[in-house]
Chains A and B, each alone.
Chain A
Amino acid sequence: MRSIMRQPMRDTIVQARRLRKVYHGADEVEALRGIDLVVERGEMVAIVGPSGSGKTTLLNCLSGLDVFDGGQVVIDGQDLSSMSDRARTSYRSRNMGFVFQAFNLLPVLSAQENVEIPLLLQGVTGKESRRRALDMLETLGLAHRANHRPDQLSGGEQQRVAVARALIHEPAVVWADEPTGNLDSEVTNVIVELLVRMNNGGQTIVLVTHNPLVSDRAQRTVRMRDGRIETPLADVVEGAIHPIRQAT
């Protein structure tokens, strides 16, 4: 593993400043304790850390799936913290793609129909959506499974469909939460190669993982512990503390 000091940012796509998230309950838990993070366009960043360190919470807050209690998140120049739920939802549909650990395909829809969802939500016509979804499945080697429902697909195929769904509308950022968590090592490799291939094509990807096979393929690894990013070395870019790159 080698460390590379980060160059001054040329094209920031994700920027978090002093991000705080508190879970209110019988006991308050501060899940994020003032996170500062920058992700450049075209980067593939892996967030790693032990269970309970706040990885998924950070991903949820950055992607607008969850609200936060303090700080700021700016995605591609848009401040999520100032957006209403409706605006955030609309922003997600246009600019973000998601891959989840449990695949989370809709069981009532076929593979192709699952992939079409983001396009249809954006108002793309049914015909165009179908064409693009088929193209995407073909790219991922799943054209022959287009009309199969999720329960007729293997785990790896389901996750590839999920990746296709995340990429179909060419989002600014793809967020992946333990994308290989339910897969064996062979299929994990397939998915990782797929993500890397997409990243090489310029797709920004931020993923949470426990799996070194995955994190090792990321351009940068962000290590978290107790709601903080461990920053043995950091530089300051545009006022934000930037964690050290840990590229393999």
Chain B
Amino acid sequence: MILIAFFVLVYAAIGAIAWRRPLLARLAVREAVRRPWQSVLVVAGLTIGTSMILMSSIMSDSVTTSLSLATYQSWGRVDILVSANGRFFSPSIASELANSSRLHDKLRGAQAGVELFGVAADLDRRLDNPSVRLIGFDAVSQAPFGAFTLADGRTTNGLDVPPDSVLISETLAESLQAKKGDAIRIAANGFAPADFEVFGIATRHGPGDYGAQPAVFATLPAMSRLTGTSQINVVRLSALGDGRQELENSQQIAPAVAAALSEMPSDVHIQVVTAKADDVNEIEKLAAQNAPINFALSSIIVLAGIALVVNLALALAEERRPHLAVLRALGLTRAGLVMTTLLEGAVYSLAAAAIGAVPGLGAGWLMVANSGRWIPELHEKGATILLVISTQAILVSIAAGALVTLLTLLVASLRTTRLSIASAVRSLPDLPGARQSGNWVKIAIVALGAVGLVAAAIGDGSVRLLGGVGVIAMCGLLLDGRLPDRVRATLVGIAAVIWLFGVYATLSWTLIQSDLLVTVGLLPLATIALSLVAASNIRLVERVVPRTLVAQLTRRTSRLVLAATALGLVLSLVTFIGVFLASTMPDYGKDAGGYDVSVATSGSTSFRLPPTLQSKIADQLSISTGTYFGPVRSTLSDRGPGPLDWHQQAVPLYAMTDDQLARPKLPLSSYDARFTNEAAVWASLRNEPDAVLSGTYPAGTVVALMGKNGPVPLRVIARFSPGFLTGLVGSSRALDALGADYPGTTLLLRLKPGVDPAGFAFDVRRSQYPTGVEAVTTRELLDQGSAIFRNYIGELELVLIAGLGVGVLSLGVLALRAVVERRRSIGLLRAVGYQPRQLLTAVMGESLLTAATGVVVGVAVGLFVGFAVISRYEPGHAVTIQLDALAVAVALIFVTAALVTLPPAIAVARTAPAEALRLID
């Protein structure tokens, strides 16, 4: 709202200026409409700010809202879970809590329950699902938690569900193609199976969405048929209130619940978790972690857009220089000139911001529509993806886009209005010394340099990077007049690049992840610095190309820097992402350690494959497997840069025997920097009680799970490739503290040569029906593991295409400007004998040379950042460059640049000398 208010204030001020200074307003409007096609191109270039900001905003709002809503729905009316880490206890705890004087008038309801994982098989459809949540509920106390709404329209609290019948969730019904009345075989992990009838299919309204996963809802009598006991392992409590108030109430009464529990006799340690509030808070935090990443990537494209805007402003100012000088001569102050530029900019930026909202909406819609592919939480929560487009988001993006453009034009105009009237009025270049800085400017430079020095010395991450560049830039400014411009610019550029790359190479992965500004800042700064070096030395091409043809490019360093920066920025992003993708693509043989198929059973520690399948196995590794479901906290998120506080999560656990640890047969993809080799990692895993491996969390993460006696912190010392053995792998001793059971087995199978892994996995699933065995190829697991990132990058193509559009557009606009701005010099060249084709070649050459500069700069910066990031993200991992993809991208840039430059170049070539040499416009 502050931004919108500021926007209104700024435009109101601009309106007031236009009202009070009609001459300036008239000039601004006339300039804007003078060359309509040029203005259309300018506006098109400026739309990028609003569209990127709006896209980012829609993405963030939609994902946050979808996840938040799904999380609320997945908990229903359940706010607090009372459990003993999966152990069973007396159901009287629930009734005692409901009647506790401490909780009088504070609870909506209390319900005894059972929560387990297991397998379900529809015996009529001959389909099974190995990963099902089994949710037992006390039908008598269900009312406060809401009634189940069934697919056939009935509602039930469970009281009318017989003990030999169960409700199943919509998602389970879909996976089993189950219908009401089907026979269903259910086995809780570690327990014997039992057969039931499907009483109904619970829709996702109310308690039917509890857990947001394929689930069986069984009354306690039905559940006791599975567990063989009437005891429970959870009490669900519902606090009063709705929405956020309900969450706050639950957090307020949690201590009273704990106090009440402490007064009850129990032989197990019972814990109280404000599960819903914790989950909602963490999911919102997680969603918020995605927002800065989207914003950061969009910002880089916006920066490229800013470079285009500055270039346009410089080109327009160059063309209008004599006119600006006349106005100054006639008595318009420099502030008045700035005001005129601002008024014209206000017309452009407002039009661009309003128009930019349209592609922004489209891009946002596309990103949101596909967000389920790369935001796993959306899938895990079974969230309905909502497209949230608020009026505020549109207004904010228009305001932000317009203000960014306006601010850019303001800064550019401070430079362009600084002219020598006497020279400019006669279209002559400013005389040497006309732009010498005053003493106060020098003092300001020194002061800023000092601030930069302090920032570089004591700052961290982005502050340090920026501070150092500031010091180098200030030194460059102070050397003005003491060194030739070319030498000065080259030295400043090289020094800045060395500083940026040098500092970035020393930063930790944690810092790079947590301080996105480091990378977002590095890309443009390094691109500008390298562009400066390249542009300052582009004169070298004059050795091979006639100077008269390329002088417009080689003698205008600032323009080349800006054009190369716009293109280089985008290409650096393309290159960086390409390197990251190529380097993190699964190496199926290596990443799976030679295993072809993973077979997981959740309820059986020893199962045998039929001899026909067994004969196809060359080698196998069997690991005891269990699933922890409960509070989890981690110092690094598996899906984002920040830590995650307590939240409910299912974590697969793999307990390895001492023998397996002594002769490790699992493939590590990276490990903690303190280890020198894999043997040291395995030794540490054997000896250190808190060391674990993970296919989910990066090395260095501390993951805390709730154990028998409170939180159990586990340190991830090495990781597998994403997707391979997700969860935590540790010694039995390390995982013992969790008090978890390991009722299942994971078999990693190496097949004999010639056996098709996919066909083998299918045969395993079919042979084990209805016990619910999960058999997949390791290739599939690794693909799933890397799919999230690859899909995310796929979505970013939209952003990158927009960025490349900006880069190429800048080349086209500059070529078009060449026609207008250089009429006289073109006329002169034609007059002295240059052929049209030579001028056409010159303009095309300029554009392609600019593109080449941008490409070289962008690829160099992108490669560096790619190497630097990969070496931290996956230490020891080989960095791969997809040269073919890069070559295609570069070729596309050149072809597009040539295409957009061709029409203006033809116009230049067709210029009649006499016409071009006329003095008037």
Contacts and interface: CB of A to CB of B under 8 A. Distances in A.
B433 A89 contact: no
A27 to B, nearest CB: 9
A103 B920 contact: yes
Contact of B420 (A56, A66, A103): A66
Contact of A89 (B328, B436, B920): B328
A90 B326 CA distance: 14
Contacts of A85: 334
Contacts of B841: none
A89 B331 contact: yes
B539 to A, nearest CB: 18
B333 A107 contact: no
Contacts of A150: 920-921
Interface in A52-87: 56-57, 60, 63, 65-66, 85-86
A239 to B, nearest CB: 28
A120 interface: yes
Contact of B433 (A23, A90, A117, A121): A23
Nearest to A121: B331
Interface string B171-193: 00000000000000000000000
Contacts of A94: 331
A104 B323 contact: yes
Interface stretch (A3-11, A108-116, A135-143, A212-220): A108-116
B332 interface: yes
Contact of A108 (B34, B334, B420, B425): B34
Contacts of B331: 89-90, 92-94, 96, 118, 121-122
Among A60, A104, A150, A158, which residue has the most Cβ atoms of chain B within 10 A? Answer: A104
B877 interface: no
Contacts of B432: 23-26
Nearest to B481: A24
A165 B323 CA distance: 14
B332 A89 contact: yes
A75 B22 CA distance: 30
A61 to B, nearest CB: 9
Contacts of A90: 331, 333
Contacts of B22: 120, 126
Nearest to A162: B326
A117 B322 contact: no
A65 B421 contact: yes
B326 A104 contact: yes
Nearest to A109: B30
Contact of B323 (A63, A101, A106, A118): A106
A66 B421 contact: yes
A12 interface: no
Contact of B330 (A24, A113, A117): A117
Nearest to A63: B329
B426 A113 contact: no
Among B323, B331, B919, which residue has the most Cβ atoms of chain A within 10 A? Answer: B331
Contacts of A109: 26-27, 30
B10 interface: no
Nearest to A122: B331
Contacts of A25: 431-433
Interface residues of A, number: 42
Contact of A56 (B329, B330, B422): B422
Contacts of B332: 89, 93, 121
Chain B binding surface, main DSSP class: helix
Contacts of A158: 920
Contacts of B26: 109, 113
B425 A104 contact: yes
A116 B23 CA distance: 9
Among B323, B326, B332, which residue has the most Cβ atoms of chain A within 10 A? Answer: B326
A107 B920 contact: yes
B327 interface: yes
B38 interface: no
Given A102-B427, A104-B323, A121-B331, A60 B422 contact: yes
Contacts of A23: 431-433
Interface string B436-471: 100000000000000000000000000000000000
A65 B919 contact: no
B318 interface: no
A177 B27 CA distance: 25
Interface string A7-47: 00000000000000001111000000000000000000000
Contact of A98 (B323, B330, B333): B330
A26 B432 CA distance: 8
B780 interface: no
Contacts of A92: 329-331
Interface string B6-45: 0000000000000000110011001100100000000000
Contact of B322 (A57, A102, A116): A102
A128 interface: no
A117 B334 CA distance: 16
Contacts of B436: 24
B425 A106 contact: no
A100 B920 contact: no
Interface in B880-921: 919-921
Interface string A120-153: 1110001000000000000000000000001100
Nearest to A116: B23
B76 to A, nearest CB: 67
B333 A89 contact: yes
A199 interface: no
A65 B921 CA distance: 23
Contacts of B323: 104, 106-107
Contacts of A102: 322, 426-427, 919
Nearest to A92: B331
A232 to B, nearest CB: 29
Interface string B549-586: 00000000000000000000000000000000000000
Nearest to B325: A104
B433 A24 contact: yes
Contacts of A126: 22
6 contacts: A25-B431, A60-B421, A90-B333, A92-B329, A92-B330, A102-B426
Given A66-B420, A106-B327, 13 more contacts: A66-B422, A89-B334, A90-B331, A92-B330, A96-B331, A98-B326, A100-B326, A102-B426, A102-B427, A107-B323, A109-B30, A122-B331, A182-B919
Q: When A and B form their complex, which 3 residue pairs have the shortest distance between CB atoms, in order from nearest?
A: A93-B331, A25-B432, A24-B433
